[in-house]
Amino acid sequence: MLSSEFDMQVRHIPCQTIINPTGGYLEGGFTHTINLYRGCALGNTLCGLYCYAQWNPYHVQGRKWGAFLDIKEGVTEIYRQQYDRLKHPRSGEPKPLHIFMSSVTEPYPPQERKARRTRQLLEEMVHRPPDFLVIQTHTPLVADDLAVLLALHERCRLQINITVETDKLQLPPPFPPHAYSPESRIQALHTLHAHGLVTVATVSPLLPLDNPWRFARDLEAVSNQVVLDHYLLGDGSPQGLRTKQTELPRLLKETGFDDWNTLEKFEAIVGIFREVFKASPRVGVSREGFTASGKGAHL
């Protein structure tokens, strides 16, 4: 852990629903999302700078991003009830469950080590498996759950996405530090991949790289697929309007990385990844890349 900036308000809140229909960016690839927390403990670190979730008014409720974390209570019971209604309806066919966890929070914040919301849900899923589950995380803590992930892998299609948006240990000040080093996240991908789990490295949004060829080779060695995204393509608003409201584009420019604000640079990096990953279906781009596996493309 590189940052100790976790001075925040932590609340426990009742859970109303946990399996929620998907909309927006993930629609078409996934039927539902699951968010076990609200807010994010990593909101004051590098990824919090451009985090797309900070624009979700329902989750943020007027609070400052990075200043709060709500931990949902009663999650496994609600999952059980909703799952049984969807998969064992009194009438009609069972509904498909292609779940993306999580879309507006981090499923493995540091508080997960004590709260164990994600682990408890995964244990429940071993008994009530979705058809497909993608775990999307920014932290290496997902590797703590190797045993339950292996059990769930036997019961459903499972894919673990870990975001590694740069190979740089630190972007120049005044960029905030990473919460967890790129190396620790690549190591987590390695651990999961070596045990036969499907892993995807998400370079999203792409940030400046020290050595694109070496970074692509490092990710190729530990993941079935990579998905690259640029804020101009994939922040859920036209031409990256949301990200343009953050400090990211300005800081890139002021620290000498203005070319990383352009799609020309992004396309050059995608080209390098396509060469390194050889089979081009292993390189996904933006929304298509994120939703392809949910549409049935097996990795």
38 in contact with ligand SF4 (CB under 6 A): no
| Helical pair 117-127 and 146-153, crossing angle rounded to 10 deg | 20
SS3 201: strand
CB-count exposure of residue 21 (10 Å: 0-12, 13-18, 19+)? exposed
* The one among 36, 40, 122, 198 contacting ligand SF4 by CB under 6 A: 40
Using alpha carbons only, give the angle 85, 90, 96 rounded to the nearest 5 degrees. Answer: 45
Nearer to ligand SF4, 69 or 133 (CB): 69
Q: Does residue 141 contact residue 32 with C-beta atoms inside 8 Å? A: no
Nearer to ligand SF4, 46 or 121 (CB): 46
43 in contact with ligand SF4 (CB under 6 A): yes
The least distance separating ligand SF4 from the CB of residue 68, rounded to whole angstroms, comes to 12
State how far the alpha carbon of 264 is from the alpha carbons of 3, 170, 218, 289, in Å: 32, 24, 23, 19
Nearer to ligand SF4, 141 or 276 (CB): 141
Q: How many residues bind ligand SF4 (CB under 6 A)?
A: 10
Nearer to ligand SF4, 42 or 133 (CB): 42
The least distance separating ligand SF4 from the CB of residue 41, rounded to whole angstroms, comes to 7
* The one among 53, 122, 164, 248 contacting ligand SF4 by CB under 6 A: 53
Q: Does residue 38 contact residue 70 with C-beta atoms inside 8 Å? A: yes
Q: Of the ranges 44-52, 85-93, 124-132, 252-260, which one interacts with ligand SF4 (CB under 6 A)?
A: 44-52
Nearer to ligand SF4, 50 or 83 (CB): 50
State how far the alpha carbon of 27 is from the alpha carbons of 130, 251, 275, in Å: 17, 32, 30
DSSP string spanning 96-131?
Answer: P-EEEE-SSS-SS-TTHHHH-HHHHHHHHHHHS--S
Q: Of the ranges 3-11, 36-44, 111-119, 208-216, which one interacts with ligand SF4 (CB under 6 A)?
A: 36-44
Nearer to ligand SF4, 31 or 136 (CB): 136
Q: What residues pair up with 14 in beta bridges, in sequence order?
A: 73
For ligand SF4, the binding residues in 54-113 under the rule CB under 6 A are: 105-106
For ligand SF4, the binding residues in 174-233 under the rule CB under 6 A are: none
Q: Does residue 253 contact residue 261 with C-beta atoms inside 8 Å? A: yes
140 in contact with ligand SF4 (CB under 6 A): no
Q: What sign does the CA torsion over 25, 28, 30, 36 have?
A: positive
* The one among 51, 134, 152, 228 contacting ligand SF4 by CB under 6 A: 51
The least distance separating ligand SF4 from the CB of residue 295, rounded to whole angstroms, comes to 23
Q: Does residue 198 contact residue 227 with C-beta atoms inside 8 Å? A: no
Question: Among candidates 105, 104, 85, 108, which has minimal Cα distance to 95?
Answer: 85
Nearer to ligand SF4, 101 or 219 (CB): 101
The least distance separating ligand SF4 from the CB of residue 53, rounded to whole angstroms, comes to 5
Binding site for ligand SF4 (CB under 6 A): 40, 42-43, 47-48, 51, 53, 105-106, 138
